[in-house]
Amino acid sequence: MEVNQVIHDYTSENSQDNEDRITSLPDDIKQMILDNLSLKEAVSTSILSQEWRYIWRFRSKFFLNDHTFPDIINAVNQVLSVHKGDIDTFFAICNDNGDEDEDEDDIFLYISSEVINSWLDCLADAKVRNLKFRFPTENFLLSSSSSLFRCDRLITLDLAYMKLVLPQSFNEFRSLTNINFKYLFINSLDLERLIKSCPLLKKLKLNYLYCEILNIHSLNLKYLKVSGYYSCVNLNETPMITDASISTTFFHDDDCDFTNVLHNLTGVKALDLKINIIRYLKLGIGMKFNNMEKFKVSLVSDSKKDTEIIISILQCSPALDYFHIEVI
């Protein structure tokens, strides 16, 4: 229900002369109002009356960036130090343009792992459900503590410029449906284990991870986007993927192994292949893309082998409605 409708219905039923109708609203409706204001607007309501003074501290959604809060580290510290109750959404972003396909001219930020981990302690206690941290640092050594893995109600996890190490005690993120990792340090085994530990995972974006091998096992995954420098990508037990985008550049061409990628993408409706992955793909005998309606290809060179693979994919796609190819 829209916030305005909730307020209208309540004030219509409880209208009294000479009464501040907004102040008389129940606290849960006040919190709903505050969640639809910017953080600065929400904090400013504390001057309205004694009853409004501390209500913003129970706000459940926070979106902080360095455009609104130039001293974003201090802003996050202040918010988390006084917050009460559960947090649904907490996004803290510094100098991020939100487009993983574009190179960024990052302005590095000085922030320590201790600061990040103190935030994670607070957010774990607040049972955060949607979390996004993006803080570019010069040394790329932000290490997350085990507190991150206490956030067992997470639905969305979006991390960048961090080092992630799974504790041995970690079991699963049973509610997590959306992962977006960018410029993340994580070893191949930890990444594989993390993905497998998310039984409800639907959307996975892996952008320029510091991880040579990607092993992806995810029974319910529907959207996959992979970009970066990898020597091997294995898709195993990914029968539900309907939308896939894979963009790769390799350090050692002879070592690259993408032979099973297409075999596990036969159910896709949309497929986007970029850079030089095409020549490393293999089509199995009798393989069909019966559901594929959209096929996009971006190449760095026009080679005979690339052309042969593309033609083979087209011949195996009876439902194809859109095809686009470009040499970049």
On the question of pLDDT at 139 being above 80, the answer is no
Question: In this predicted structure, what is the pLDDT of residue 113?
Answer: 79
Mean pLDDT of 53-64: 75
Does the pLDDT value for residue 6 go beyond 70? no
Rounded-to-10 torsion of CA 189, 194, 196, 200: -170
- Would you say 253 and 282 are in contact if contact means Cβ atoms under 8 Å apart? no
Kindly report the three-state secondary structure assignment for every residue of 125-151.
HCCCCEEEEECCCCCCCCECCHHHHHC
Whether 297 contacts 320, CB under 8 Å: no
- Inter-residue contact 239 to 216 (CB < 8 Å): no
Q: How far is CA 241 from the centre of its chain?
A: 17
Cα 137 from Cα 78, distance rounded (Å) = 21
Q: Which two tokens stand for residue 178?
A: 């959306």
Q: Phi, psi at residue 38, to the nearest 5°?
A: -65, 160
Task: Give the pLDDT confidence score for residue 280 in this predicted structure.
Answer: 82
Alpha carbon distances (Å) from 56 to 19, 28, 172, 305: 22, 11, 32, 61
Please give the structure tokens belonging to residue 152: 């067992």
Closest by CA position to 58, among listed 33, 75, 93, 77: 33
Spatial distance between the Cα atoms of 291 and 319, rounded to a whole number of angstroms: 6
| Cβ(252)–Cβ(226) below 8 Å | no
Residue ranges of domains in the chain: 219-328
Q: What is the pLDDT of residue 5?
A: 45
Poorest-pLDDT segment among 49-63, 139-153, 184-198, 291-305: 49-63
Give dist(CA 61, CA 2) in Å, integer.
17
Q: Determine contact, residues 128/90, Cβ cutoff 8 Å.
A: yes
222-251 pLDDT, tens digit each = 999 999 988 888 998 899 999 999 998 765
Please report which helix (H) or strand (E) contains residue 158, including its range.
Answer: strand 156-160
Q: Is the pLDDT of residue 97 over 80?
A: no
Give the DSSP H/E element, type plus range, for residue 63.
strand 61-65
| Predicted pLDDT of residue 64 | 82
The percentage of residues in the chain with a pLDDT greater than 70, rounded to a whole number, is 74
